[in-house]
Structure 1
Amino acid sequence: MSEGWHLYLLRCRGGSVYAGITTDIERRFREHASGRGAKYTRAHPPECVLGSRAYPDRASASRAEHELKRQPKARKLDWLLADPQPMLDR
């Protein structure tokens, strides 16, 4: 895993999608899966990491996360297929 911050998407039980940021996606997934992650993933356990995108710093990752969380599920999934430019730079 590369250095820096990552915005990631998880597929959760029931088909929902969760977005979060971290510096270590594998560690964060284990935390979510064990019930020590976000409140949402305690109620909707994660099944897998759908994908991620790297950001140069926490601030840019947080801005992208905020924007992505406001999108419907289909747009979140489209984000995975889009070019790697941060959403706020478009």
Structure 2
Amino acid sequence: MSTNITHGTDELWWVYVLHCAGDRCYVGASSQVDARLRAHAAGTASAFTRAHPVEALIGTLPVGTRRQAMVLERRVKRWKPARKRAYFRHYRLAWDHHRATSLLAEVPMYAALAVSIDALNLLEAQHQEVQRSVLAALDGIAPELLEVLRQTGCDDAGIGAWLCYPNPQLSGRRPVDLVAHGEAAVVMALIVRAQHGVE
């Protein structure tokens, strides 16, 4: 993940879509989505949401750096409202999952993923049984991430291999390690940037 120079920290930026009064959509980007949503609800975030109060969060999509989020935000703003709703409604879970990561150690499925990662350290990443266990654990922990991976056209064996190998775009870390540490959104952001051609 690139460092955000403005804040000097690794902040993950998100693009979000809100359903507003008058059956309108608002598209925004933020690294602090909860705070931004509160500001929209209070009518202090933008003139648009002040004039057309927010009725619901349609969805959020992890993107990466601020610049990458702004590029995708501009693209999404050009979409018709029906396309925005249809695309982003699948990503409501991504934000809910991201917000729940403080409870990861208490979730039994994360322990199953940790066991799979330990096995990967002992076996080659190509071992099909280990990859299947990683996919099964991922399906329980971050099904929306697994769905996005499947939408790339890759079969489960290819997804398993991709998850288990160090990725240069993730500073040499394995995607499965990030997921195990509650950073599935970072992995999803990498895939989203590739799908939308955002560098």
TM exceeding 0.5: yes
Task: Give 3-state SS (helix, strand or coil) of 2:40's partner.
Answer: helix
RMSD: 1.9
Q: Considering fraction of residues, name the structure with more helix.
A: 2
What letter is aligned with 2:87? W
Q: Output one character per residue of 1:29-53: Cα deviation in whole Å (capped at 9) or x when no partner.
A: 1101111111110100101111100
Aligned to 1:89: 197
What letter is aligned with 2:66? R
Identical aligned residues as a percent: 32
Using the TM superposition, give the Cα deviation of residue 78 of structure 1 relative to its aligned residue in structure 2, in angstroms. 2.7
What is the TM-score with the length of structure 1 in the denominator?
0.86
Aligned to 1:30: 38
What is the TM-score with the length of structure 2 in the denominator?
0.41
Task: Give 3-state SS (helix, strand or coil) of 2:86's partner.
Answer: helix
Residue from 62, 76, 82 that aligns with 2:84: 76
Task: Measure, in 2, the Cα distance between the counterparts of 1:6 and 1:71.
Answer: 17
Residue from 18, 37, 46 that aligns with 2:26: 18
Task: Give 3-state SS (helix, strand or coil) of 1:31's partner.
Answer: helix
Task: Measure, in 2, the Cα distance between the counterparts of 1:17 and 1:76.
Answer: 8
Residue from 39, 43, 64 that aligns with 1:56: 64
Gap regions ≥5 residues in structure 1: none
Q: Considering fraction of residues, name the structure with more strand.
A: 1
Deviation beyond 3 Å, 4+ runs, structure 1: 81-84
Gap regions ≥5 residues in structure 2: 1-10, 92-147, 149-187
Task: Measure, in 2, the Cα distance between the counterparts of 1:78 and 1:89.
Answer: 20
Q: What count of residue pairs does the alignment treat as equivalent?
A: 88
Highest Rg: 1 or 2?
Answer: 2
What letter is aligned with 1:60? Q
